[in-house]
Amino acid sequence: MASHDPDKPKDESPPTEGGVSRRQVLNYAWKALAVGLLVEAGWTTYDILNPQPSGAFGGVVAAGHVEDYPEGTVRFFQDGRFYVASTGGALVALYQKYPHLGCRVPFCDSSGRFECPCHGSVYNLRGEYIQGPAPRGMDRFGMKLQGDRVLVDTSSVVEGPPRGVSSVPSDAKGPSCVAGPGKGQEAKPT
């Protein structure tokens, strides 16, 4: 049976050849891991509190070139949540969100208008109010040209024009995408 020295603590391991015990090595390892965890937590907190623009919604989004937008063109940008429409010789970036209750307002190719499938509001190519329960026109984003490139800044929303503002024709090109006979559009005689 091994002898036991009552003055020596039980949990102390004998020193290794270099003069450091296993317990000391483990203590150093735990301290190093704790410091690494604190550094990682600090770095993660910094990244969360200082996000970088992603080039998608909340930042500046490249929306192609000016020549991509002949008169009457509407293009949707999923990552930026907006449309770019060309009408009246100018471009406008329209937020997809319905100003009344937040639905996505799609563009209807057949009528040439933006039509809300949720509540029936209708807007012209510039996002100006035509009809429905919406309080105003579609909200917008700031745009700028860099050379011939179109850049849309989705970091802040600009409130849409009030009801009654109409700077481009608002007549439908054809049938509505959401309203059928009896739902806001008269049936055509046959």
What is the pLDDT, as a whole number, of residue 168? Answer: 83
- pLDDT tens figures, 83-130: 999 988 889 999 988 887 778 899 999 999 999 888 888 999 999 999
- pLDDT tens figures, 27-66: 999 999 999 999 999 988 887 887 655 557 778 888 999 9
88 burial level (CB within 10 Å; 0-12, 13-18, 19+): middle
Rounded average pLDDT over 171-178: 86
- 87, 148 Cβ separation under 8 angstroms: no
CA dihedral 103, 109, 179, 78 (to 10 degrees): -10
What is the pLDDT, as a whole number, of residue 53? Answer: 55
pTM beyond 0.85: no
Positive or negative torsion for Cα 146, 148, 149, 152: positive
CA distance 125 to 86: 8
